[in-house]
Amino acid sequence: MKPVTLKQIAGQLNISVSTVSKALKNYPDVSKETKLKVKELAKVLNYQPNAFAVNLRRKESRTIGLIIPEIVHHFFSTIIKGIVNQAEKEGYLVIILQSNESYELEKKQINLLLNQHVDGIIISLANNSTNFDHLNQVVLSKKPLVMFDKIAKLVNCSKVIINDRKAAYTATQHLIDAGCKRIAHFRGSLLPLNSIDRFLGYRKALLDNGLPYDPALVYISECDDTSFEEGKMNTRKLLEDHDDVDGIFISTDLVAIGALTECNKLGVKVPDDIKIIGFSNWFMSKVVSPALSTIDQPGYLMGEMAFKQLYKEITMQKNKESYYPEIIELETKLIVRESTAS
Amino acid sequence: MKPVTLKQIAGQLNISVSTVSKALKNYPDVSKETKLKVKELAKVLNYQPNAFAVNLRRKESRTIGLIIPEIVHHFFSTIIKGIVNQAEKEGYLVIILQSNESYELEKKQINLLLNQHVDGIIISLANNSTNFDHLNQVVLSKKPLVMFDKIAKLVNCSKVIINDRKAAYTATQHLIDAGCKRIAHFRGSLLPLNSIDRFLGYRKALLDNGLPYDPALVYISECDDTSFEEGKMNTRKLLEDHDDVDGIFISTDLVAIGALTECNKLGVKVPDDIKIIGFSNWFMSKVVSPALSTIDQPGYLMGEMAFKQLYKEITMQKNKESYYPEIIELETKLIVRESTAS
């Protein structure tokens, strides 16, 4: 079943191809009668205009690009779902690319999406992206751009975020309220803004409660990839070096589950000997034993809001209205489970 | 920074736009000298031809469509990653759509992708897809199509699968070898071909070992969505109705983890009182307690192979070579952990 062409329609009506084309586009120099005949036959034959040609004329592709650091990741996959579902509601398609936490790849992918003439781009930064020229170029070229979760303050675009500092403060305060006096922190990678903010929230909670801040209790990821194995390894080191620690705030659930697993293996009792709280509320955290307390990050909503903001900007630009970057901050929630029970 | 246009190049060289366009396309009626000048300036100015116009000419979009039932799902997200990474190696972009296990949505999305003129489509079917006209239409229109995991035998296209029946047989045989004599099966939804095959593998293993097959021990999903909660609910029912059951083969890890969680809650000891084996090898299965035995399904490889096959067909079609559908069967592996220890 080959697609129906303008030529076929022209042949059946015994008129020229250019008349058919003009009729479909409602040109004034074609009679009403001919327009009606052409449109009816086009409908009967289920004529579909070539998407490339339509896009070329409309100057829109009705596709957007999404760059995320890692697809196999509960938090990011809920975000993808939020973006894809919301985009579909507006008739947009989503091209998805994974940066593998690599700045070089991220830069290449931005160019790929621009060459493909997507109508806008949504991105969460790779951990080692510290140069933002590639993103500023998107902004300068007036292509709508929205960042989420891992953002760069120096890029002048809209952002959908949570208040990482406040959420980390809440998590740490919860450990203190549960009786912890010497609290370690596994902060993940050094560079991403949200790691920094979570660390600052942790430190502020300690100081506000009159507890000393000890840099020796803060563990930084050796690799870019914060993982289950890292949680196990850091926990082993921590228990060897600091046997007085009674609480750990861990900046992502996957690492926290590694920590729980290692404690179980070493016979260290959670929450009696040591209390653990994670961050993100992965599905897994409620099925591990003991169930993990954590901070709920609204991934699906974050995806929805990121697309809604991008769509708003695409539409305003099409209508030649000017728009200004917006910062959308979503609420987080403390989820108390067994791993921090008093 | 606006993109450079043909008009700018023409202006700087004081020649017509059509000469510039012809020079870039190597038309014979433009002098060698002019071609050289145009191409050099285009390079200096970093001229990028409009992707729509290029695609219109080439009749290829260098994008493919991917339809999956559910994005937030460990197995499917590893597949997405395999497809996206492999596509990028060949310079292809991937548009991703989620069918939410709905046949109606899946049909709509196939049309959306055809209208967008993707070069090919990769799909895993929704659970309630029993009419395949929308897919046969893709095949008839000569658009390369590859199915994976949840496939339809009646669609004449390439497929990347595992041997579900054999893998289920292996899982059930493992329970029998571990001493189980009365084995239940949570089979998930009724319709998908892989649910049926897993059920048949389970039944054959029982019969081959001289164990009676009892239909009352087979639990079918009430809803389309096989979930953690379903695993808990079925386990409660099973333990009430059949207190002699000593093993369960569960056709997906998420449901199996629900079953484990419920056993832990009710004080039923796994593996001493009852042994449980899942299917898929989600990351989660190794961190729950007791760790879950399962069948490893190679998701990432499945994604890679699906794209490779699609790319092969796209390329052969472009070169006007004929190709025939292929069935690619990937190996699975029994993973023995604590939940089935003798």
pLDDT tens-digit readout, B37-55 = 988 888 888 777 665 555 5
Average pLDDT, chain B: 91
The pLDDT value recorded for residue A24 is 85
> Picking from A11-20, A215-224, B140-149, which range would have the lowest pLDDT averaged per residue?
A215-224
Question: What is the nearest CA distance from A47 to chain B, expressed in angstroms?
Answer: 11
Cα separation values, A308 from A116, A252, A305, Å: 21, 27, 5
What fold does the segment set A61-160+299-331 form as a domain? Rossmann fold (3.40.50)
Token pair in block for residue B7? 């008009």
Between residues 120 and 139 of chain A, which touch chain B (CB distance below 8 Å)?
A: 137
Where in chain B are all domains bearing CATH 1.10.260.40? 6-49
Average pLDDT, chain A: 91
- Tell me how far apart the alpha carbons of residues B63 and A36 are, in angstroms, rounded to a whole number: 35
Where in chain B are all domains bearing CATH 3.40.50.2300? 61-161+299-330, 164-297+334-340
The pLDDT value recorded for residue A277 is 98
The pLDDT value recorded for residue B147 is 98
The pLDDT value recorded for residue A175 is 98
Kindly state the average pLDDT of the residues A219-241. 86
**Of A64, A133, A132, A67, which is closest to residue A101 (Cα–Cα)?**
A67
**Residue A230 pLDDT greater than 70, yes or no:** yes
| pLDDT digits 0-9 by tens, A58-97 | 667 899 999 999 998 889 999 999 999 999 999 999 999 9
User: How confident is residue A42, by pLDDT bands cut at 50, 70 and 90?
Assistant: confident
Cβ-Cβ contacts under 8 Å, A101 against chain B: none
- Tell me how far apart the alpha carbons of residues B128 and B142 are, in angstroms, rounded to a whole number: 25
User: How, if at all, do strands A183-188 and A247-250 pair?
Assistant: parallel
Q: For residue A287, is it left (φ>0), alpha (ψ between -120 and 50) or beta?
A: alpha
What fold does the segment set B6-49 form as a domain? 434 Repressor (Amino-terminal Domain) (1.10.260)
The pLDDT value recorded for residue A27 is 83
**Residue A51 pLDDT greater than 80, yes or no:** no
User: How, if at all, do strands A218-220 and A275-277 pair?
Assistant: unpaired
Residue bearing the bigger pLDDT, A52 or B105: B105
| pLDDT digits 0-9 by tens, B283-304 | 889 989 899 999 999 999 999 9
Percent of chain B past pLDDT 90, that is, above it, reads: 71
User: How confident is residue A130, by pLDDT bands cut at 50, 70 and 90?
Assistant: confident
Q: Which CATH class is domain B61-161+299-330?
A: alpha beta
**Residue B66 pLDDT greater than 90, yes or no:** yes
Using DSSP, state whether A317 is helix, strand or coil: helix
The pLDDT value recorded for residue B269 is 97
The pLDDT value recorded for residue B1 is 46
Please judge whether A117 and B52 are an interchain contact, meaning their C-beta atoms are less than 8 angstroms apart.
yes
Nearest CB to B117: which of A52, A73, A284? Answer: A52
Q: Please enumerate in sequence order all residues whose Cβ is within 8 A of that of B337, keeping only pairs 6 or more positions apart, or say none.
A: B285, B286, B290, B291, B292, B293, B294
| pLDDT digits 0-9 by tens, A133-161 | 999 999 998 999 999 999 999 999 999 99
Q: How many CA atoms lie within 13 A of A89 on its CB side?
A: 9
User: How confident is residue A185, by pLDDT bands cut at 50, 70 and 90?
Assistant: very high
The pLDDT value recorded for residue B188 is 87
Q: Select from B52, B77, B225 the residue whose CB has the most chain A CBs within 10 Å, as the one to mutate to test that interface.
A: B52
- Tell me how far apart the alpha carbons of residues B223 and B234 are, in angstroms, rounded to a whole number: 12
The pLDDT value recorded for residue A58 is 62
> Which H/E stretch holds residue A66?
strand A63-68
Residue of B nearest to A76 (CA): B72
> 3-state DSSP helix/strand/coil percent for chain A, to nearest 5?
45, 15, 35
Token pair in block for residue A86? 């919301």
What type of residue sits at position B156?
N
Domain A164-297+334-340 annotated CATH 3.40.50.2300: yes
Please judge whether A72 and B85 are an interchain contact, meaning their C-beta atoms are less than 8 angstroms apart.
no
> Picking from A51-60, A157-166, A210-219, which range would have the lowest pLDDT averaged per residue?
A51-60
The DSSP string of A218-279 is EEE-SSSS--HHHHHHHHHHHHHH-TT--EEEESSHHHHHHHHHHHHHHT--TTTT-EEE-S
User: How confident is residue B176, by pLDDT bands cut at 50, 70 and 90?
Assistant: very high
**Residue A1 pLDDT greater than 50, yes or no:** no
- Tell me how far apart the alpha carbons of residues A279 and A171 are, in angstroms, rounded to a whole number: 8
Where in chain A are all domains bearing CATH 3.40.50.2300? 61-160+299-331, 164-297+334-340
Nearest CB to A289: which of B78, B117, B289? Answer: B289
User: How confident is residue B226, by pLDDT bands cut at 50, 70 and 90?
Assistant: low
